Amino acid sequence: MPARSSTRSAGRSSTGRSTAVEVFKFGGASLADAAAVRHAIDLILAPRPTRVVNVVSALAGVTDALLAIATAAREGDVKAVDVAVDRLHARHVAVGNEVLPNIRARTALQRELDEAFDELRMLAHGVASLRELTPRTRDFLVARGEQLSARIVVAGLVSRKAKAQYVEAAEIIQTDGVFGNAFPDLAATDRLVRARLRPLVRRKVIPVIPGFVGGGEGGALVTLGRGGSDLTATVLGRSLKAERITLWKDVPGLMTTDPRLVPTARIVPQLNVREAAELAYYGAKVLHPRALIPLTRVRVPVFVRPFADPEAPGTEISVRHTLQRYPVKALSIVRSQALITVTGNGMLGVPGIAARTFAALQQAGISVTLISQASSEHSICLCVPSERGRDAKIALERAFALELSRRELEGMDAQTGMATLAVVGLGMAGSPGIASRMFTSLSRAGVNIVAIAQGSSELNISVVIAERDAEAAARAVHDEFQLDKIGGGGVRRDDRLDVVLLGVGQIGRELLRMLPRSRRRVRPTVVGLIDRSGFVFEPDGLSPRQLASAVALKSAGKPLASLAHARKASASEAVQWIATHALARPVLVDVTADDTLPAIRKALAADMDIVLANKKPLSAPRAEVAALRALAKQHGARILHETTVGAGLPVMDSYAKLVETGDKVLRVEGCTSGTLGFLLTEIGKGRPFSDALRDAMARGYTEPDPRDDLSGMDVARKALILARLIGFDGDLTDVTVESLVPEAYRHMPVAKFKATLADQDKLWASRQAAAVKQGRALRYVLRATPRKVVVGLQAVPLSHPLAGLRGTDNQIVFTTKRYKEHPLVITGPGAGPAVTAAGVLNDILQLTPA
Ligand SMILES: NC(=O)C1=CN([C@@H]2O[C@H](COP(=O)(O)OP(=O)(O)OC[C@H]3O[C@@H](n4cnc5c(N)ncnc54)[C@H](O)[C@@H]3O)[C@@H](O)[C@H]2O)C=CC1
Ligand SMILES: N[C@@H](CC=O)C(=O)O
Considering 644, 669, 693, which residue would you say is the last residue of a domain? 644
Q: Residue 301 and residue 246: Cα distance in Å, rounded?
A: 9
**Residue range 568-585: mean pLDDT, rounded:** 84
Last residue of a domain, one of 250, 278, 295: 250
The protein residue with its alpha carbon nearest to ligand 2, atom 3, reads 831
Helix (H) or strand (E) holding 207: strand 206-210
**377 and 394 fall within a common domain:** yes
- Indicate the pLDDT class of residue 8, thresholds 50, 70 and 90: very low
Reported as a pLDDT band with limits 50, 70 and 90, residue 494 is low
Residues 705, 681 share a domain: yes
What single string gives the DSSP state of each residue in 282-298?
TT-TTS-TTTTGGGSSS
How many C-alpha atoms does 200 have within 13 Å on its Cβ side? Answer: 20
- Separation of first and last alpha carbons in the chain: 36
Among all bound ligands, the one having the nearest atom to the CA of 572 is: 1
**Protein residue whose Cα sits closest to atom 27 of ligand 1:** 532
For every residue of 612-654, DSSP letters joined together read E--STGGGS-HHHHHHHHHHHHHTT--EE-GGGTTTTS-HHHH
Residue 664: inside a domain, yes or no? Answer: yes
Determine the pLDDT at residue 456: 58
- Residue 375: is its pLDDT beyond 70? no
pLDDT attached to residue 577: 81
Give me the long-range contacts of 124-131 (CB less than 8 A, separation at least 24): 124/69, 124/70, 124/72, 124/73, 124/81, 124/85, 125/73, 125/78, 125/81, 127/70, 127/73, 127/74, 128/72, 128/73, 128/74, 128/75, 128/76, 128/77, 128/78, 128/81, 129/76, 131/74, 131/75, 131/76
Beta carbons of 293 and 389 less than 8 angstroms apart: no
Beta strands (DSSP E) in 277-433 are 302-306, 315-318, 330-343, 370-373, 379-385, 411-424
At 519 the pLDDT is 80
**Residue 682 alpha carbon to ligand 1 centre in Å:** 25
Which CATH number is 598's domain given?
3.40.50.720
Stretch 807-829: mean pLDDT: 96
User: Which pLDDT score, from 0 to 100, does residue 653 have?
Assistant: 96
Note the pLDDT of residue 7. Answer: 32
794 Cβ neighbours under 8 A, 6+ residues apart: 778, 779, 780, 781
CB 672 near ligand 1, within 6 Å: no
**Quick check: CB of 702 below 6 Å from ligand 2?**
yes
Q: Is the CB of 649 under 6 A from ligand 1?
A: no
Where residue 344 falls among pLDDT bands split at 50, 70, 90? Answer: confident
DSSP structural state of residue 445:
T
Q: Is residue 204 part of a domain?
A: yes
- pLDDT of 166 reads 98
> Which pLDDT value is given to residue 348?
67
Protein residue closest via CA to atom 1 of ligand 2: 702
Element (H, E) at 232: helix 229-240
User: Is the shortest distance between the CB of 831 and ligand 2 below 6 Å?
Assistant: yes
Q: Based on the domain organization, do 736 and 595 belong to the same domain?
A: no
Report d(CA 514, CA 616) in Å as an integer.
Answer: 24
Question: How many structural domains comprise the chain?
Answer: 4
What one-letter code names the amino acid at 130?
Answer: L
Q: Which of 506, 509, 529, 568 to mutate to test the pocket of ligand 1 (most atoms within 8 A of CB)?
A: 506
55 beta partners: 25, 209
Report CA torsion sign: 601, 604, 606, 612: positive
CB neighbour class for 654 (10 Å; exposed up to 12, middle 13-18, buried from 19): middle
Q: Answer yes or no: is the C-beta of 503 below 6 A from any ligand 1 atom.
A: yes
Ligand in closest contact with the CA of 840: 1
**Do residue 637 and residue 668 come from a single domain?**
no
pLDDT bracket for residue 2 (50, 70, 90): very low
Distance 175 CA to ligand 1 centre (A): 60
Q: Is residue 314 part of a domain?
A: no
DSSP secondary structure of 744-806? GGSSS-HHHHHHTGGGGHHHHHHHHHHHHHTTEEEEEEEEE-SS-EEEEEEEEETTSGGGG--
Whether ligand 1 lies within 6 angstroms of the CB of 750 is answered as: no
The tens digit of pLDDT for each residue in 774-806 reads 999 999 999 999 999 999 999 999 999 999 999
Inter-residue long-range contacts of 288-293, CB under 8 Å, 24+ positions, other chains counted: 288/225, 288/226, 288/227, 288/228, 288/229, 288/230, 288/231, 290/183, 290/224, 290/225, 290/231, 291/227, 291/230, 291/231, 291/233, 291/234, 292/234, 292/317, 293/183, 293/231, 293/234
Q: What type of residue sits at position 156?
A: G
Of 315-319, 453-457, 651-655, 807-811, the least confident: 453-457
Q: Are 248 and 27 in contact, with CB atoms under 8 Å apart? A: yes
Kindly tell me the burial class for residue 133, based on how many C-beta atoms sit within 10 Å of its own C-beta (0-12, 13-18, 19 or more). middle
Q: Is residue 700 in contact with ligand 1, taking CB distance under 6 Å?
A: yes
Predicted confidence (pLDDT) per residue in 707-730, tens digit:
999 999 999 999 999 999 999 999
Residues 368, 481, single domain; the answer is: yes
Is residue 10 pLDDT above 90, yes or no? no
Total count of residues recorded for the chain: 850
Mean pLDDT of all residues in 576-587: 79
Beta strand residue intervals within 216-318, DSSP E: 221-223, 244-249, 270-272, 302-306, 315-318
Determine contact, residues 662/656, Cβ cutoff 8 Å. Answer: no
Helix, strand or coil, per DSSP, at residue 610? strand
Angstrom distance (rounded) from CA 301 to CA 279: 17
Regarding predicted confidence, which is higher, 750 or 307? 750
Given a contact cutoff of 8 angstroms between Cβ atoms, the answer to whether 665 and 846 are in contact is no
In this structure, is residue 10 part of a structural domain? no
Query: Of the ranges 278-292, 495-509, 613-627, 663-677, which one carries the lowest mean pLDDT score?
Result: 278-292
Residues 467 and 613 in one domain: no
571 lines ligand 1 (CB under 6 A): yes
175-206: pLDDT as tens digits = 999 999 999 999 999 999 999 999 999 999 99
The alpha carbon of residue 548 and the mean position of all alpha carbons in its chain are separated, in whole angstroms, by 28
Q: CB pairs under 8 A, 24+ apart, for 320-325?
A: 320/270, 320/272, 321/272, 321/426, 321/427, 322/269, 322/270, 322/539, 322/581, 323/268, 323/269, 323/270, 323/427, 323/486, 323/539, 323/581, 323/582, 324/427, 324/540, 325/427, 325/540, 325/582, 325/584
3-state secondary structure 112-167: HHHHHHHHHHHHHHHHHHHCCCCHHHHHHHHCHHHHHHHHHHHHHHHHCCCCEEEC
Looking at 250, 268, 284, the residue that finishes a domain is: 250
How far away, in angstroms, is 545 Cα from ligand 1 center?
23
Q: Nearest 5°: CA angle at 276, between 274 and 281?
A: 95
Q: How far is residue 749's CA from residue 3's CA, in Å, rounded to a whole number?
A: 32
Asked if 655 and 665 count as a contact pair (C-beta separation under 8 A), the reply is yes
Cα–Cα distance list, 499 to 90, 306, 519, 844 (Å): 57, 29, 16, 8
Average pLDDT, the chain: 91
Which of 29-43, 185-199, 338-352 bottoms out in mean pLDDT, i.e. has the lowest? 338-352
- Are 411 and 404 in contact by the 8 Å Cβ rule? The answer is yes
pLDDT at 94: 97
Say how many Å lie between the CA of residue 316 and the centre of ligand 2: 44
**Is 513 in the same domain as 465?**
no
> Cα–Cα distance between 610 and 636 in angstroms, integer?
11
Q: What is the DSSP letter of 388?
A: G
Backbone angles phi, psi at 727, to 5 degrees: 110, 5
Distance CA(393)–CA(89), nearest Å, equals 45
The tens digit of pLDDT for each residue in 207-226 reads: 999 999 999 998 899 999 87
The answer to whether position 315 is within a domain reads no
Q: Which ligand is nearest to the CA of 558?
A: 1
Distance 697 CA to ligand 2 centre (A): 10
- 684 to 680, 692, 771: CA distances (angstroms): 6, 11, 10
Coil, strand, or helix at residue 500?
strand
What percent of the chain lies above the pLDDT cut of 70?
95
Q: Cα(643)–Cα(652) distance, rounded to whole angstroms?
A: 8
Give CA–CA dist 613/231, Å, rounded.
51
> Between 103-130 and 144-159, two packed helices, what is the crossing angle to 10 degrees?
170
Whether residue 366 is contained in a domain is answered as yes
Q: Which atom of ligand 2 is nearest to the CA of 645?
A: 5
* Atom number, ligand 2, closest to the C-alpha of residue 715: 8
Nearest residue (by CA) to ligand 2, atom 2, is: 702
Residue 833 CB–ligand 2 contact under 6 Å: no
| 716 domain residue, yes or no | yes
Query: What is the model's pLDDT at position 16?
Result: 40
Atom of ligand 2 nearest to the CA of 718: 5
Mutate to test the pocket of ligand 2, among 675, 699, 779 (most ligand atoms within 8 A of CB): 675
Residues 218 and 79 in one domain: yes
Ligand nearest to the Cα of 715, by number: 2
Judged by average pLDDT, the poorest of 228-232, 265-269, 827-831, 840-844 is 265-269
Residue 693 inside a domain? The answer is yes
Contact (CB, 8 A) for 428 and 286: no
For position 707, which CATH number holds? 3.30.360.10
Q: What is the CATH number of the domain that holds 173?
A: 3.40.1160.10
CATH code, 383: 3.30.2130.10
Helix H or strand E segment including 437? helix 434-444
The full DSSP string for 711-757 is TSHHHHHHHHHHHHHTT----GGGSEE---S-GGGSSS-HHHHHHTG
Residue-wise pLDDT for 62-107, tens only, equals 999 999 999 999 999 999 999 999 999 999 999 999 999 899 999 9
**Range of weakest confidence among 71-80, 120-129, 480-489:** 480-489
Same domain, 617 and 670: no
Residue of 362 and 9 predicted with greater confidence: 362
| Largest Cα–Cα separation, the chain | 120
Task: Quote the DSSP letter at residue 381.
Answer: E
How confident is the model at residue 284, as a pLDDT?
Answer: 63
Query: What is the domain extent for residue 562?
Result: 490-644
In the predicted model, is pLDDT for residue 495 greater than 70?
A: no
Of 597, 627, 622, 623, give the one whose Cα is nearest residue 612.
Answer: 597
- Judge if 804 and 700 occupy the same domain: yes
pLDDT digits (tens, 9 = 90+) for 684-701: 999 999 999 999 999 999
Q: How far apart are CA 169 and CA 147, in angstroms?
A: 9
Instruction: Compute the distance from residue 634 Cα to the ligand 1 centre, in Å.
Output: 28
Q: 613 CB less than 6 Å from ligand 1?
A: yes
Instruction: Pick the ligand that lies closest to the CA of residue 712.
Output: 2
b/e 434-471 (16+ beta carbons within 10 angstroms → b): beebbbebbeebebebbbbbbeeebbbbbbbbbbebbb
Residues 399 and 531 in one domain: no
- Whether residues 577 and 676 share a domain: the answer is no
Does pLDDT of 422 surpass 60? yes
pLDDT of residue 17: 43
pLDDT grade, residue 459 (50/70/90)? Answer: confident
Residue 254 has pLDDT above 80, yes or no: yes
CB of 675 closer than 6 angstroms to any ligand 2 atom: yes
CA 677 to ligand 2: nearest atom: 7
Task: For the chain, give the percent of residues with pLDDT over 90.
Answer: 75
Helix 144-159 to helix 34-45 angle, to the nearest 10 degrees?
60
pLDDT band at residue 579 under the 50/70/90 scheme: confident
